[in-house]
Amino acid sequence: MRFKEAVSQRIFELCSMYNYTPNKLAELSAIPPTTLRSMLTNKVENPSALVIYKICRTLDIDIKDFYNSKLFKYENIDD
């Protein structure tokens, strides 16, 4: 799996855990819905650290918690 796909899957996981739709998460995070949608559909090659920070702040989690997932283990990420 590519890194951008792992980011997308993690955002979907967090939306499910917090019972948010992607649009609701974008709204609460002050992220343009089109930006989040592009990340979720893997159109963004290098996901923005600022967008991930805003998501974490909205969910009241640390950035390390965003990446604390088996999705981001080295053996799961293709270069």
Provide the CATH number for the domain around residue 39. 1.10.260.40
Is the pLDDT assigned to residue 4 strictly greater than 80?
yes
Would residue 76 count as lying in a domain?
Answer: no
36 burial (CB, 10 Å; 0-12 / 13-18 / 19+) is buried
d(CA 38, CA 60): 23
d(CA 76, CA 37): 23
d(CA 61, CA 13): 14
Confidence band of 79 (pLDDT split at 50, 70, 90):
confident
Mean pLDDT confidence for 60-66: 97
Specify the number of domains making up the chain: 1
pTM of structure:
0.93
pLDDT for position 10 = 98
Confidence band of 36 (pLDDT split at 50, 70, 90):
very high
Would residue 11 count as lying in a domain?
Answer: yes
Would residue 41 count as lying in a domain?
Answer: yes
Full domain range(s) for residue 46: 3-71
Mean model confidence pLDDT for the chain: 95
